[in-house]
Each structure stands twice: as C-alpha cells, then as structure tokens.
Amino acid sequence: MTSQGTLGTSQGTLDGKVALVTGASRGIGAATALRLAREGADVAVGYVNGKEAAEEVVRAVEALGRRAVAVRADAADADEAAGAVTAAAEALGGIDVLVNNAGVGVLGPLETLSLADVDRVLAVNVRGVFLTSQTAAARMPEGGRIITIGSCMAQRVPGPGGTLYATSKAALAGMTKALARELGGRGITANLVHPGPIDTDMNPADGPYAAGQAAMTALGRFGTADEVASMVAYLATASYVTGAEFAVDGGHTA
Ligand SMILES: NC(=O)c1ccc[n+]([C@@H]2O[C@H](COP(=O)([O-])OP(=O)(O)OC[C@H]3O[C@@H](n4cnc5c(N)ncnc54)[C@H](OP(=O)(O)O)[C@@H]3O)[C@@H](O)[C@H]2O)c1
C-alpha cells in the first residue's frame, strides 16, 4: 500500500511546487505561507497594505530554503485580483497551489451596513476569489490545487450582525463545488476550509467578543493560525479530495 499526502507531517511533499497565498502578510495567510514552504513549496506572498510584513514573511520563507516573492494586489480591484496570479507565476515559474485567503469582515446590524460595505465585502471575499481562481486555473497544470478560506459563519450564524459576512462566505461553497466539477477533468482540485474563531488581527483572542466566541466552540478556546494552515497543507497534497468543505473550528458548528 502506498500513501500520498499525509496530514501535515512529511517534509518535502510540495517540493518543486509554486504556491500563491493571498493575504499572506499576517494571520492565517502568513502561517499558511510558512507551512507550505516547510512542505517544500516556493511561495508568493500576497498583501495589499502590509508591505513590510509581507517582506518579513518572504524572508522567513527564504530562511527555510525556498524561493519567495511579495505580490501586492488589492483583491477589491478586478485587474489586481487576477494580476496577482500572473505576477506570482512570472516571478516563480508557474502556479500549482492557490490559497484564496485574503478576506475582510464587516459585521454589524443590518441597518448599519452601507452600500459601500456591501460592495467592498463582496468584491474582496467573492469577486476577488472568483477572478483569482479563474486566472490561476487557466495556468495550472494537472495536480493543481485551489484552496479557499471560508468561515464557520457560512455554515451556522450564531447571532445577529453577520448578514453581509456570512453571505460572502456562503457564496464560496457554491463556487468551490462548481470549480471542482469544472476542473476535475484536468486533475485540479478545489476545496474550502471554514475556520472558527482564530486568534489574528481580524479576531483577537483578547478582543471584546472573544469570550462568547470561545464558549461557542466544543473545545472552549480560539484556534491558532497554524491549526488552519495544517488543513491547508493537507489539502495542497491530497489527491482524491475535491469539492469538499472542512471545518477547522474547534467544534463551533458541532
Ligand atoms: N480570524 C478568524 O477568526 C477567522 C474566522 C473565519 C474565517 N476567517 C477568514 O480567514 C481569512 C484570513 O483572516 P485573518 O484572520 O488571518 O485576517 P487578518 O489577520 O485581518 O489578515 C488579513 C489578510 O488579508 C489581506 N487583505 C485584506 N484586505 C485585502 C485586500 N483588499 N486585498 C488583498 N489582501 C487583503 C491583509 O493584507 P494587509 O496586511 O496588506 O492588509 C492580510 O494579509 C479571511 O478570509 C477571513 O475572513 C478568519
């Protein structure tokens, strides 16, 4: 019996592969960039404002013996969202793994959400993911992997204030399944990871709403960015998993 791709253990399972991680200057994206580099990938580190932070991640990837490049692209801009893929592929010689991680969260009562909020959240969390995936799929060889970061709020919304964010993240479930069907014939997979409360700038574990979120998980705590990155690393190597959704949420949706 042979084994191809085990859950985040073996060194070098992504040797020779190129990955683009959007929103990799901090949080879940930065942890994912480093994790994929540890597995052997060269990594393009996407960012929009955090140039210095992105360059720090680039240096950390290089310290692991992999190639890296920082790629600036505003996911809310259609040309830039697609252009991130082109820039990454040109700098590193192709693209094998796309991690659609960049995202924004605008939470609040329905009546407070402006048209600008709606447009921005859908542009970054949905349209940007669509365009980046479309551009990457056109360049990916057989064995390509598209992994998108959704949210536990796509599956269960535990209280008021999440209408816009949950709408954007739920759209990714349909997109992922359709991508899986569209690209399966070329040996390319598409999967969706739903984090629960994860300690990052977006959702700090010592923030004002943290205790309530932790209490809603079965494990009674926030997760770490590394815990999400482990699932992404698994999906980057898994060969018979596609069109699927994975909760990494400490039991938030249990
Ligand atoms: N943390 C949680 O509890 C949680 C839970 C469920 C799902 N998620 C999802 O996980 C993903 C990462 O979240 P995180 O907590 O790591 O967030 P974070 O700490 O706020 O980091 C966000 C990252 O996305 C980038 N970004 C933001 N807006 C962008 C834009 N318009 N164009 C390109 N890049 C942009 C940021 O780049 P700059 O540094 O350049 O600004 C940064 O690298 C998001 O999709 C989020 O919705 C997070």
Q: Which tens digits make up the pLDDT trace of 154-209?
A: 999 999 999 999 999 999 999 999 999 999 999 999 999 999 999 999 999 999 99
Q: Which tens digits make up the pLDDT trace of 202-242?
A: 999 999 999 999 999 999 999 999 999 999 999 999 999 99
- Alpha-carbon distance 131 to 38, whole Å? 28
Q: Is 237 inside a domain boundary?
A: yes
Q: Which tens digits make up the pLDDT trace of 40-61?
A: 999 999 999 999 999 999 999 9
The three-point CA angle 193-104-57 to 5° equals 75
165 is a catalytic site residue? yes
Q: Does the pLDDT of residue 4 top 80, yes or no? A: no
For residue 169, give the ligand 1 atom closest to its CA: 47
Total domain count for the chain? 1
Ligand 1: lining residues by beta carbon, under 6 Å:
22-29, 46-50, 53, 73-76, 101-105, 124, 149, 151, 195, 197-198, 200-203
Which amino acid, one-letter code, is at 183? L
Contact by Cβ (8 Å): 47, 71: yes
- Alpha-carbon distance 193 to 235, whole Å? 9
- Alpha-carbon distance 102 to 149, whole Å? 8
- State how far Cα 114 lies from the chain centre: 26
Q: Is 198 inside a domain boundary?
A: yes
Q: Which tens digits make up the pLDDT trace of 117-140?
A: 999 999 999 999 999 999 999 999
CATH of the domain at 202: 3.40.50.720
Contact by Cβ (8 Å): 28, 43: no
Q: Which tens digits make up the pLDDT trace of 53-83?
A: 999 999 999 999 999 999 999 999 999 999 9
Q: Which domain holds residue 193?
A: 18-248
For residue 124, give the ligand 1 atom closest to its CA: 31
- Alpha-carbon distance 212 to 230, whole Å? 25
